[in-house]
Each structure stands twice: as structure tokens, then as C-alpha cells.
Structure 1
Amino acid sequence: MTTLYQRQLNYLFNRPTTEPLWYWSEHGEEGVFEDEDPLSAFVFIETLLQNPSADLAPYSDNQVALGLEFVFNNSISNLACDFKIAPVPITRKTAALRALFVLFRDVFNPRCAAATSAGTQQTLSKLNGFCYMFWDVCPLSTWLNFSEELYTKKPKEIASAVQQQYKNLDSENSTCYEAIAGVMRQCLSLDNPACVESALHGLGHMALFLPDIAVPIIDGYLKKSGYHNQDLRHYARAARTGMIL
């Protein structure tokens, strides 16, 4: 008997990879994901992160890239946003967040081309492109909710208000940010430069608002003994100031 999780995997990953991309033309989700059900989204992502290498083994790199983008890019689906608001204990939620490292270690690290993406004129592959942009498009990298009213203010007022919120994080949000930063720190030790660059990309954005967390991690990477890819060292120096794209 096919489980709900198996049906969800098939729905997301057993797809054509040609244009137009399937998720732009798909209407309805065939009952595999319930609308407005954050717990269902959480359980799916939590399960996927337990053994993603085996679960995604039947699918091509391009299928994996598009399926993961559907899951984690909140401009395509609400799954990652629903994960954030799921009614589960914070200990369970942060354990699932920390398991994002397994996705990088067991899927991106072996499958992505061993190359960096910053400054290149063309995307190496769909999977490399998504790995590079993961922390840009994934809402799990941001644990503050900003009101719509905030964005009606002047740029300097917006920046000041955002900085103030980051200075007054509650314990739950702080725990989530620490978990995400921990994933990025672990990814800096992977041997595929695509995964290292992705982590530096995420830390570079975090450095703008949580420098006390992000910058020491980047500095630790720069101080490590042994050979570093010079492109990555340059990117790391930019990331510690938040000056990355």
C-alpha cells in the first residue's frame, strides 16, 4: 500500500523537467497536500530530511532540483512557510531545522557540480542554481514577521525598525536562528564548493542583522588551516560584511 509520504514524493519529484516547469501549469495538488494544514507540511519536510538520499535516489538531478524548489521556495508553494507555523514543540521544530544539514550533505554535496556560482554568467545546473540560492528563497532562514505597515515607511525607518526587532528576539526565534546558523556552519566543512558557497551566501545575509552569530562562523572558516578555494575565500570576506548577492 502506498503511503501518503510516498504519494507526496511522487507528486513532487516524478515530473518532467522541460519548460514550462510543471509547478507553473499545475492546478490543484491532487489531495497529497492539504490546504491550510501546517502540521501536514511540517511532517512531510521533517520526514524528507530524515533520509533524503535514499528517498530521492529514483529521481534525476533536475527532478530533485525542481521538487526541492517547490518544497522550499515560498514563491512557489506555502510548504516551508507552513512548516514555520506548525503547532509542534520548539524542540521538534529545531531538530527538523538542524536536519537541513542532511539535505546538503547527502543530496547537494554528491549531486551538485563541484563549482561555485557567484559571478558566473550561466547556471551550472538546476540543482547547483537552487543550492546557491537556497537561503535566499527559503523562508526558513527568516524567523521574524514584519507587518505590511512597515514597508510603507521610508527606507531608513524600515532599516531601523528591522534592526530593533532583531535586537529583541524572543527565545524561540533565537533558537531557530541558532539552528539555521549551525546548519550553515556544518556546510562549510563539506567538500563540494557549491555547498560551502551556499552556506556563505546564507551567512552573508544573516551578517547584516545578526552579525554576532554569523561573522564568527565566517571568521572561523577563514582561519581554518589548509588550502581554501580562492574564490570561496573572496566570497567569505564579502559575506562577513553582508555585501553579497
Structure 2
Amino acid sequence: MRLQELTFEEWLEHAFGHEVRFQQAPWYFDPDHDWWDPRPAQAIAYFTRLFEDPAPALKGFADRQIAQGLTYLVNTMASGDSRWFCSTEVPVRERLRSVEAIVPFFERLFKPRCTPHLSHLSEVDAGTLNGVCYMWWDAFPSLAFAGDPNLPTIHDCALSTMERTLHLDSLACQESALHGLGHWQSGHQERVAKIIDEFCAPDAKIDARLLAYAKSARCGCVL
């Protein structure tokens, strides 16, 4: 069933309330599953509300449910790119607000819940949410398409968001930001180099493993 008129609370239950299966594909790959298909403006409003204050919204959901729900909502390998974030139907100020809200989302959800392990090294003790955090910018939907007059502004906002996330006191959040910057390096070489060079200043106290990853991200050598 195509779900369009969900309240915010109903949307949360739809996305995060499903049981996590361990021996079969997630619910959103079922051929007869319900899917959320709102107008872009409503989608952006709900995402922004979730990103800005995730703790009360996700209270009561286990980390595995949160990881599954986020994969369903924002990973283009799960439900596809619904083009909500790049929709020019939505005022640009609202699109920018949603992208900027990713910083408090990382700070209030991923920072306290992720473990201090690095996903690009496949460290076995990484927490349930580490993988979603790490792949955030790799799997996130498009923010703007060619021809969108606001594309430069939105992409600048995304890079600034990665930069701010890079300075959170969290190994997982920093790794995620570097992963994203590495993928954006080909189109924004100077900006990415500046952000990473400032992060890797000689007096900065950075985990040696993360420093090596930062050097890889600076040249776009990330997977």
C-alpha cells in the first residue's frame, strides 16, 4: 500500500517499528510491503524534525530497529532515491535546514550510540549503528540535480555539514564525515583538501588509524 497521509508519529512507527529479521531480508524488500510516498515538502519536514531532535522521536526503538529504519528511509540501495531532498518543489531554505540538521542528528544519535570503532577497517566490535553512520553520505539520496539553480548553495551546505560533523568528539562520526568528503572530493577538490588539512593540523590529537583514512579521503581514495 502506498502511504501518503501519515502523521509524524505514524511515520516513525512505519519506518522504525518493524521487527529486525536475522535470517531473511528486511521487511522493505518484501514484494507486498507498504511504502511511504508523501509529497516532497512533507518528507523534508518530517526528516528535519527527526534530524533536529532524534532522542524523543526514537525513544523506545532498539538500535537495530533504528539502523533498519534509517536504511529504509535514506539508503538508496534499500528503497531507492525518492527525490525528496532534491525536489525544487520544496523551498530552498527548507532543504538547507534539513541538510544542516544532520549535524545535531549525528551529535545526538550517532555520537552517544556508536562505539569507538572504525567501519572501514571492519572492526568486529563496532556497534549496531556504526555501519549506518559510516555509510551515511555514501548511501544518502541526491541533494540537487544539474539544472537546479540552488545546486551550488546546497552542495556548499552539505560540505559544511560534513566539516562540522568532522569536529564532533566521536570516532564514528569523524570517520563518516571523512568517508563523505572522500566521495565528494572529485567535484570539490580544493574545498575537501582545505577541510581535511585543517582537521589534520600538526597539533591535532587524532587517532593514527583515522589520520591514515583522512589522507586517503583527501585524494578521494575511499570505497
Shared fold (TM-score greater than 0.5)?
A: yes
- Deviation of residue 79 (structure 1)? 6.4
8 Å CA contact 2:117, 2:123 repeated in 1: no
Q: Give the counterpart letter for 1:102 in structure 2.
A: P
8 Å CA contact 1:100, 1:183 repeated in 2: yes
1:4 matched to 2:16: no
- Deviation of residue 68 (structure 1)? 0.8
**1:8-66 deviation per Cα after TM superposition (whole angstroms, max 9, x unaligned):** 10111112112321222262427xx336x222322221221121122112111111111
What are the residue-to-residue correspondences of 1:147-166 with 2, within 5 Å? none
Q: Percent identity?
A: 29
Which has the larger displacement, 172-181 or 222-231?
Answer: 222-231
Distance across 1 between alignment mates of 2:126 and 2:138: 18
Q: Give the counterpart letter for 2:200 in structure 1.
A: L
Q: Give the counterpart letter for 1:243 in structure 2.
A: C
Structure (1 or 2) with the larger CA radius of gyration: 1
Distance across 1 between alignment mates of 2:93 and 2:41: 15
RMSD, matched Cα: 2.2
TM-score (norm 1): 0.80
Out of 14, 20, 29, which is 2:34 matched to? 29
| Dislocated runs of 4+, deviation >6 Å | none
8 Å CA contact 1:128, 1:194 repeated in 2: yes
Q: Give the counterpart letter for 1:175 in structure 2.
A: T
TM-score (norm 2): 0.88
**1:164-184 deviation per Cα after TM superposition (whole angstroms, max 9, x unaligned):** xxxxx8651111111111111
What are the residue-to-residue correspondences of 1:114-193 with 2, within 5 Å? 114-120=116-122, 122=124, 124-140=126-142, 143-145=144-146, 171-193=149-171
8 Å CA contact 2:133, 2:172 repeated in 1: yes
Q: Give the counterpart letter for 2:212 in structure 1.
A: H
**1:205-227 deviation per Cα after TM superposition (whole angstroms, max 9, x unaligned):** 11111112211101110016342
Out of 18, 22, 27, which is 2:21 matched to? 18
Q: Give the counterpart letter for 2:100 in structure 1.
A: R
8 Å CA contact 1:34, 1:40 repeated in 2: no
1:198 matched to 2:176: yes
Partner secondary structure for residue 221 of structure 2: coil
Q: Which runs of 5+ in 1 are unaligned?
A: 146-168
Partner secondary structure for residue 139 of structure 1: coil
Distance across 1 between alignment mates of 2:8 and 2:99: 19
8 Å CA contact 1:204, 1:241 repeated in 2: yes
Q: Give the counterpart letter for 1:220 in structure 2.
A: E
Q: Give the counterpart letter for 1:130 in structure 2.
A: V
- Deviation of residue 187 (structure 1)? 1.1
**1:119-148 deviation per Cα after TM superposition (whole angstroms, max 9, x unaligned):** 2265724311111111111124x5335xxx
Q: Give the counterpart letter for 1:29 in structure 2.
A: D
